[in-house]
A and B are shown apart, each in its own frame.
Chain A
Amino acid sequence: MTSQPTRVRSRTGGTAAGGGDGTTPRLRRGWPAAAVLVALAAVPVLPLHLPVVFTGPLDSPGVLHLLSLMCVMAAVAVTYDLLFGFTGLLSFGHGLYVALGMYTTAVVLNATDLGLVAALGAVVLVGLVVPLVLGAVCLRVSGIAFAMVTLAFAQAGAIFVIRDPFDLTGGELGLVLDYRKLPVWLVGVFNAEYRYWLALALLVVVVAAVRWALASRPGRVWLAIRDNEQRVAVLGLRPYTFKLLAFVLSSVLASLAGAVYALVVGGAHAEVIQPTFTLGLLVMVVLGGSGRAYGALVGGLVYTYLEHRLGDLSGSVQELPAVLRAPLMEPLLLLGVLFVLLVLFLPGGLVSVAGRGQPDPAGRIRAALRRWRAR
């Protein structure tokens, strides 16, 4: 929200960065990211046991499933941040496009004999056309009104999915993928590592695509629109076209993530189209740091991890009184409070604490508290 475009440019390191700025050799800057990636890809073959962090060894199906969910949600958060953090579009309907990917995958797989590749092709096609039409309408208004309109369309989608007028989406129960029509390597508890690799590949593709887009010419315009839309218009560019471009790109990537999500959880369910899902995305992005390199990625990973593990973690502490335990079993309570505190005291999110240039996180929090009292 407040970071300058220059900051983003200077951090576009990593293997997938489009243009380097020439001050550092690109290969050397790519090393840490490549090392992390290799380590992550090797997780399914490591019989490592991290006691409190995970329930079992790293290569067990349960842990791999959680890691897959974390990757998928982080990918969705990155696509959301493209809209919110980098283009300045606050959408409350992003879940609609994730659901679009999930349900298209499930319907095409189950209802036809075309197979997985055709299903993914359908996801891309539907994921391009629907946001193009809806975005063209939503972007007629801007700011808060845009947020409310996207919310309304997502709600229409939710009603469509749950009421199921054409007997397509399975209503509240959702759809279960027909395992006979899936490739063998994606089926069954013991193939969890392939689903994990798929989710990791999705995350890499989405992060690479978003960074490439942000480094491109339209990407500069998006940042400019976020900072001052009027000025972009005065300079002779049509903000509407560029915003629509960002909307469609972000949505089609979200649909792709939805397709992988459907493969990871083995079906499509109506939860992703509920307003709370998109609000969760917003929390992820702000938690990590919106409009910052790696912010949404970190936020998505941390949020999804906490959402799934907070309940277990609080259950593992035996002497906890019931008054404390009940709220801890509701991850959204803690995440909501954490979110409010971050908005108030640390608008830059988690990555702003770890980032270079702010060596003293405690000092930053003290400074924020001083500003708070002064108001």
Chain B
Amino acid sequence: MSTFVLMTVTGLGLAALYFLVASGLSLVFGLMHVLNFAHGAFLTLGGYTAWLVTDASGSFPLGVVAGMAVAAGLGALTETGLLRRMHGDHVPQVLLTVGLLLAFTALVRAAFGSDLRPLAVPDWLVRVTHLAGAPVPNSRFLLIGVAVAVYLAMAAFLSRTRYGLIVRAGVENRAMVTALGIDVRRAFTLVFAIGAALAALAGALVAAVNGAVSPEQGLTLLIFAFIVVIIGGLGSFHGSALAAVLVGLLQQYANFYAAVGSGDLIVVLLLAGVLLTRPQGLLGRSLA
């Protein structure tokens, strides 16, 4: 029983990470039709900024906030400076983000080396809490708590604010929103910056859970986030949340109860199954 509780909480922690990465990807895709590989770069950026700031100031929360701020700024800059200039050409936009990811990963490797860099996290984060007899690392609770908070905040932003309304309308039918005289481009920049900040948050949290940062951590998480986005439905925020929980739990259970590595394969099989029966994803409308 206690193992099951541990597996469930760890699985939910994984799901929380997937959700943080996937929700930004999904919104960016829904609104701009850009498959954003640079998301992986923002993730790495968040991890490394958190590491540098934590080292300099001694405060991990400050590091996380700094990482998010830097990523949001750089995200807004990427959108206005590069992506906007090739507006409408989806494939070149994807290529552009691929180039950014490759160049950024190489830059980080050139600057800090390819070895793991240990990150000093607060003591309470590495301790365990006993939940129904299972010793659960506190970092998992942090992941879940942050993801739930982000989910609620984003849901409120999308349904209660004016910009949220524009974003939702833009995902639904961008041409119509533009025709009504609303400048969607500002919403693009905003969503891109939010997505980058969430990716950086995920990157900093991954660094905290692993206790270290590495240049390649972005890409691995990015791939599972892609899978989550497709299963949930491209452009669907709630779909991403649902799929993240599904994928995180399934992966964790299978890796523990079946064989190590089988969870990752089962997730891909789940993806194939979803595509064969419901190509638009669980909560998606239709695929581009």
Interface residues of chain A, those whose CB is within 8 Å of chain B, are 1, 90, 137, 140-145, 147-149, 151-153, 155-156, 159-160, 163, 165, 275-276, 279, 282-283, 286, 326-327, 329-333, 335-337, 339-340, 343-344, 347, 372, 375
Task: Tell me the nearest residue of chain B to A275, going by C-beta.
Answer: B219
Which residues of A have CB within 8 Å of B94? 90, 144, 147
Query: With an 8 A cutoff between CB atoms, is B142 at the interface?
Result: no
- B102 near A152: Cβ-Cβ < 8 Å: no
- Show 21 A/B contacts (Cβ-Cβ < 8 Å), sorted by A: A1-B91, A141-B279, A144-B29, A144-B234, A145-B279, A145-B288, A155-B223, A155-B268, A156-B265, A156-B268, A163-B260, A276-B219, A330-B109, A331-B106, A333-B107, A333-B110, A336-B99, A336-B100, A337-B99, A337-B103, A375-B85
Known contacts: A140-B275, A327-B110, A330-B106. The answer to whether A152 contacts B92 by CB under 8 A is no
CA distance A134 to B283 in the complex (A): 24
Q: Residue-by-residue, is B251-282 near A (CB-CB < 8 Å gives 1, otherwise 0)?
A: 00000000111101100100110011001000
- A333 near B287: Cβ-Cβ < 8 Å: no
Given contacts A156-B268, A331-B106, A344-B85, 20 further A-B contacts (CB under 8 A): A90-B91, A143-B288, A144-B234, A145-B287, A147-B94, A148-B227, A149-B272, A163-B260, A275-B219, A275-B223, A276-B219, A279-B37, A327-B107, A327-B110, A330-B106, A332-B102, A339-B98, A343-B95, A344-B82, A347-B92
- A144 near B288: Cβ-Cβ < 8 Å: yes
Which residues of A have CB within 8 Å of B86? 343-344
CA distance A282 to B82 in the complex (A): 19
Query: With an 8 A cutoff between CB atoms, is B226 at the interface?
Result: yes
Which residues of B have CB within 8 Å of A337? 99, 103
- A336 near B102: Cβ-Cβ < 8 Å: yes
Task: Select the residue from B101, B226, B229, B288 with max chain A CB neighbours within 10 A.
Answer: B226
Which residues of B have CB within 8 Å of A145? 230, 234, 279, 287-288
Q: How far is the CB of B74 from chain A (nearest CB, A)?
A: 14
Task: Tell me the nearest residue of chain B to A327, going by C-beta.
Answer: B110
Which residues of A have CB within 8 Å of B39? none
Interface residues of chain B, those whose CB is within 8 Å of chain A, are 29, 33, 35, 37, 82, 85-86, 90-92, 94-96, 98-107, 109-111, 219, 223, 226-227, 229-230, 234, 259-262, 264-265, 268, 271-272, 275-276, 279, 287-288
CA distance A116 to B61 in the complex (A): 59
CA distance A156 to B254 in the complex (A): 14
Known contacts: A140-B279, A333-B103, A335-B102. The answer to whether A149 contacts B96 by CB under 8 A is no
- B110 near A329: Cβ-Cβ < 8 Å: yes
- B287 near A340: Cβ-Cβ < 8 Å: no
Which residues of A have CB within 8 Å of B98? 279, 282-283, 339
Give the contacting residue for A144; candidates B85, B90, B276; CB below 8 A.
B90
Q: How far is the CB of B211 from chain A (nearest CB, A)?
A: 22
CA distance A142 to B105 in the complex (A): 28
Which 3 A/B pairs are nearest by Cβ-Cβ distance? Answer: A336-B103, A163-B261, A333-B106
- A151 near B90: Cβ-Cβ < 8 Å: no
Give the contacting residue for B272; candidates A137, A142, A144, A165; CB below 8 A.
A137
CA distance A337 to B98 in the complex (A): 10
Which residues of B have CB within 8 Å of A340? 82, 96, 99-100, 103
- B107 near A344: Cβ-Cβ < 8 Å: no
Which residues of B have CB within 8 Å of A137? 272, 275-276
Which residues of B have CB within 8 Å of A279? 37, 98, 101-102
Known contacts: A336-B106, A339-B102. The answer to whether A153 contacts B287 by CB under 8 A is no
Which residues of A have CB within 8 Å of B29? 144
- A332 near B95: Cβ-Cβ < 8 Å: no
CA distance A127 to B277 in the complex (A): 26
CA distance A156 to B230 in the complex (A): 15
Task: Tell me the nearest residue of chain A to B105, going by C-beta.
Answer: A332
Q: How far is the CB of A244 from chain B (nearest CB, A)?
A: 15
- B268 near A152: Cβ-Cβ < 8 Å: yes
- B219 near A141: Cβ-Cβ < 8 Å: no
Task: Select the residue from B95, B104, B226, B288 with max chain A CB neighbours within 10 A.
Answer: B95
Q: How far is the CB of A172 from chain B (nearest CB, A)?
A: 13
Known contacts: A1-B91, A140-B279, A276-B219. The answer to whether A283 contacts B99 by CB under 8 A is yes
Q: How far is the CB of B61 from chain A (nearest CB, A)?
A: 31
Which residues of B have CB within 8 Å of A147? 35, 94
